[in-house]
């Protein structure tokens, strides 16, 4: 019977792992070499039927442990390969892309920044500012059709100003973080209260500068709430084309899927 392998990530070395580092359920990990890269794996004899915080933390501990000494391309939690031959076949298929990503992401960490604001209060302040400027808001009177059109017009005006405020804050983030981040992915207003959900790729020797920039932003805008996480392996900056899926059946997961539970289960530093 072929032994299944649980995959944690791809590293920029084909050398054996030294030191004490253990994977899921305390299993020993090893590096399966292919040319000048390697796959960090442990043996597993059963499917992962449930995603638990403990299992995610064990997965993350391996990735972070390797990150301390190597460049790591982290793989989605729960990725299981059916034997060494299939693993080597996958590594051959993706080798060129692995090398490109390892070169680009070498000596870099990922940081996450979320900014939360009171969306309803922000809109109330916009309405107040409109009134103070002498702009008339829709009120009673006139036909139902005209009132409806006026209400829609003002909803649009308020939404546009709401988005403009978000854009102005993102420009502030760009000014502070742009000096230290080599790449970024910023999502604006995923919900009315989630002003910014962003990840940044930062060189290792600029970690302190990036954190200091974050503290400056937080001090300058104390009325907002912030979530800061990292340093992480660069989960959101690995770029692979979808050549093949590694698994079948209930264990199915594609190599390039992100570990979306990472921050939810591992936690954030507020």
Q: Assess whether pLDDT exceeds 80 at residue 84.
A: yes
Cα 251 to Cα 49, 51, 80, 160, 248: the distances in Å are 8, 12, 7, 44, 6
Choose the most confident range, by mean pLDDT, from 32-41, 66-75, 240-249. 32-41
50 — pLDDT class (breaks 50, 70, 90): confident
Are 139 and 257 within 8 A, CB to CB? no
Domain tally, the chain: 2
Range of the domain at 179: 110-231
Q: Which of 57, 66, 60, 51 is nearest to 20 (CA)?
A: 66
Q: Apex CA 170: angle with CA 165 and CA 172, to 5°?
A: 100
Within this chain, do residues 47 and 99 fall inside the same structural domain, yes or no? yes
State whether residue 25 is helix, strand or coil.
helix
CATH number of the domain bearing residue 160: 3.30.70
Type and span of the H or E element at 228: strand 225-232
Least confident of 8-12, 221-225, 263-267: 263-267
Are 202 and 111 within 8 A, CB to CB? yes
Separation between Cα atoms, residue 252 and residue 248, nearest integer Å: 5
Are 86 and 176 within 8 A, CB to CB? no
Within this chain, do residues 19 and 74 fall inside the same structural domain, yes or no? yes
DSSP 82-148: SSHHHHHHHHHHHHHHHHHHHHHHTTEEEEEEEEE--HHHHHHHHHHHHHHTTPPPP-S-S-HHHHH
Q: Assess whether pLDDT exceeds 60 at residue 67.
A: yes
> Per-residue pLDDT tens for 225-245?
999 999 988 989 988 876 544
Q: What is the pLDDT averaged over residues 155-166?
A: 86
Which residue matches tokens 């036909």? 143
Within this chain, do residues 147 and 181 fall inside the same structural domain, yes or no? yes
Q: Assess whether pLDDT exceeds 90 at residue 135.
A: no
Cα 191 to Cα 153, 195, 207, 229: the distances in Å are 22, 7, 29, 20
Within this chain, do residues 183 and 206 fall inside the same structural domain, yes or no? yes
Within this chain, do residues 223 and 250 fall inside the same structural domain, yes or no? no
Q: Which of 47, 72, 69, 48 is nearest to 60 (CA)?
A: 72
Within this chain, do residues 12 and 101 fall inside the same structural domain, yes or no? yes
């Amino acid at each position: 019977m072929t032994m299944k392998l649980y995959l944690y990530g791809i590293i920029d070395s084909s050398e054996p792992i030294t030191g004490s580092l253990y994977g899921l359920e305390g299993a020993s990990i090893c590096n399966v070499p292919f040319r000048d890269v390697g796959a960090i794996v442990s043996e597993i004899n059963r499917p992962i039927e449930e995603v638990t915080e403990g299992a995610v933390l064990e997965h993350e501990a391996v990735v972070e442990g390797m990150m301390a000494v190597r460049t790591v391309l982290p793989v989605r939690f729960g990725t299981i390969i059916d034997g060494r031959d299939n693993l080597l076949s996958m590594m051959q298929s993706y080798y060129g892309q692995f090398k490109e990503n390892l070169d680009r992401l070498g000596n870099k960490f990922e940081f996450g920044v979320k900014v939360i604001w009171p969306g309803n209060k922000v809109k109330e302040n916009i309405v107040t500012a409109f009134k103070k400027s002498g702009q008339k808001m829709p009120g009673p009177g006139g036909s139902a059709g005209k009132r409806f059109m006026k209400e829609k017009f003002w909803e649009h005006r308020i939404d546009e100003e709401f988005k403009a405020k978000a854009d102005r804050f993102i420009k502030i983030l760009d000014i502070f973080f742009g000096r230290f981040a080599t790449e970024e992915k910023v999502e604006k207003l995923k919900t009315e209260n989630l002003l910014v959900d962003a990840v940044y790729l930062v060189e290792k020797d600029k970690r302190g500068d990036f954190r200091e920039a974050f503290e400056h932003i937080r001090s300058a805008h104390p009325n907002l709430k912030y979530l800061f996480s990292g340093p992480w392996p660069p989960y959101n900056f690995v770029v692979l084309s979808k050549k093949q899926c590694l698994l079948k059946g209930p264990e199915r997961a594609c190599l390039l899927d992100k570990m979306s539970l990472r921050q939810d289960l591992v936690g954030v530093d507020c």
